[in-house]
Structure 1
């Protein structure tokens, strides 16, 4: 606590990201503020960092491959300080925690014992999901959904639909965006627990043509990836990041050297890695039921959530 540290923020993704450290208990507040101000005229100029006194440190908006060094004076008050990407649509899944302790040497020697003796309360609900991380595979869970057992928790599934950031691209029960298939209108053949589970864990296995992305090679040598939302003889309009909610990017046909359909879905992998097996089943049940609390899957809820 109270000492300077340096963070080296590197963006290895193909989408823009920023990095902000917040005061304990402000993650949801800052995240919602980031969403509500994402369309403001000055959003890009302020690097999509919302104006808030809850933000202690903020980076620039880095494009893929860029790096920024940040010097931070660690607060003197011990606590769990959330950090987050506030680029539109990212905050619900791109976050973590900075633990500030009084005695770093004792903490490093035995973190579990130190925190047991010097507990740091979690003031941000999302950080409760930050304590676990497992790279779930389809094979790990498929036996649990064939068939999906009843007794699931509706309210847990409903909340996890937000926590897992499904709402950023999908709409269900009048909640969420429509940058991916409307989950309330899925083909009955796809409205199965097995199909939904595979679609979440392996998003690139089967990409809906309507939501496919394309890689454009420009005459300048620049590569641009996005979803085509409009096309005329003189230009192609694409959305580079559906979550940013900005105007489409216009590519002049004369400047396009080639374009190719991308085999990679714009839906990220790893959305379930912070969830337990039971939580995943609740989420799957919520989607299978189309958000219907009276669905048989939620009868005799028993697993103690």
Structure 2
């Protein structure tokens, strides 16, 4: 039925609407939603459903990072996202699956691990409007969201509205290999000195989602620092390979101060979150993404702050190395440590 609805968009409006009406009479509307692996976005940025009608949303996590699906009241995406980040500063965050206790959350799946799926059987709101859907793993809400459009009639749905993006593209799916510890990797660290595969490391940087947040030589995400900066830190002895491995295995163990997300509750109840870009005795300035110049900086008068905390959960989840073999981990490490330099000694044969 879903395929029929997707294909109907290739027809003229009258024919498409007639087909969709007939399909709607056959069964409850079923919508499948997936994340795009390694990119922290959903494969459908827009979903259209009829007001007051039953609908089943199947959320299938085909990524290797954990994700959930929350549908909020209109205009509440940011508030719910910040409340989820606030849960990240408490021991209850994971137990609650980062689903805030607020009436702004209408429907929610659990936090799904790689390969899991959950079905949400709901009745669409009766009030027409735009209802955000979002992933609330800390930090993900800033890029991983979309809109549920609640419409009065099937004829109000755009012809091409249901066509999803291919969630896999040309990126191969990765399967669980084993649970790696920091010591497991360090036991083989001598193999990092030479003989590594540059092309393997380059591909893995994309396949295991590093590129979703980190850039390498300016190409990639903007939610974390450019990995080329590691070269300078290694040269200045401000970090070492053991610390890099530990950060990959247990990313929330130690979050660099300037990348810790601050959660601020104002006296009037308004919420703000972001990374500190400036602070003195009177003023606090937060940016949701300090590496993106297009993101607005929020200036806060400190005397208007009621509560302030910081998330203890890294936007990078644990387990990203668990789909990799030992050699793949070493290739990725070599690629990161070299700053994507194929002439680095680690790649000598």
| Contact residue 222 and residue 291 of structure 2 kept, 8 A | no
Does the 8 A contact of 2:30 with 2:58 survive in 1? no
Query: CA-to-partner distance for each residue in 1:249-279, whole Å, 9 max, x for gaps?
Result: 4444332024345554444333323323222
Question: Which of 276, 283, 287 pairs up with 1:228?
Answer: 276
**Are 1:239 and 2:287 counterparts?**
yes
Task: Normalising by structure 1, report the TM-score.
Answer: 0.56
Task: State yes or no: 1:160 paired with 2:204.
Answer: yes
1:109-148 map, 5 Å: 124-126=169-171, 128-129=173-174, 131-132=175-176, 134-146=178-190, 148=192
Name the counterpart of 1:280: 329
Choose the corresponding residue for 2:245, options 181, 189, 197.
197
The yes-or-no answer on 1:172 pairing with 2:216 is yes
Matched positions, count: 227
For the aligned residues, what is the CA RMSD?
A: 4.4
Alpha-carbon shift at residue 243 of structure 1 (Å): 9.1
> Is the contact between residue 216 and residue 260 of structure 1 (CA under 8 Å) also seen in structure 2?
yes
The aligned counterpart of 1:20 is 33
After TM superposition, give the deviation of residue 197 of structure 1 in Å.
0.9
Match of 2:285, SS? strand
Residue 140 of structure 1 aligns to a residue whose secondary structure is helix
CA contact (8 A) 2:252 2:312 kept: yes
The farther-off stretch of 244-253 and 148-157 is: 244-253
User: Which residue in the other structure is 2:306 paired with?
Assistant: 257
Match of 2:53 in 1: none
Residue 251 (structure 2) pairs with residue 212 (structure 1)? no
Match of 2:345 in 1: 296
Whole-angstrom distance in 1 between the partners of 2:44 and 2:298: 22
Q: Secondary structure at the match of 2:194?
A: coil
1:50 equivalent in alignment to 2:45: yes
Give ranges in structure 1 of 5+ residues lacking alignment. Answer: 8-18, 35-46, 73-83, 92-121, 301-305
8 A Cα contact 1:88 1:243, kept in partner: no
> Contact 1:48–1:87 at 8 Å: present in 2 too?
no
CA 1:175–1:31 in 2, change beyond 3 Å: closer, same or farther?
A: closer
Equivalent residue, structure 2, for 1:118: none
Rg larger in 1 or in 2? 2
3-state SS of paired residue (2:254): coil
- For the 8 Å contact 1:203–1:265, the answer to whether it is kept is yes
Instruction: Name the counterpart of 2:107.
Output: 68
| Shift of residue 203, structure 1, vs aligned partner | 2.6
Gaps of 5+ in 2: 3-26, 49-56, 60-68, 85-98, 100-104, 109-119, 123-133, 146-166
User: Secondary structure of 2:255's partner?
Assistant: coil
| TM-score, normalising length: structure 2 | 0.50
Matched residue of 1:152: which SS?
A: coil
Shift of 1:90: 5.5
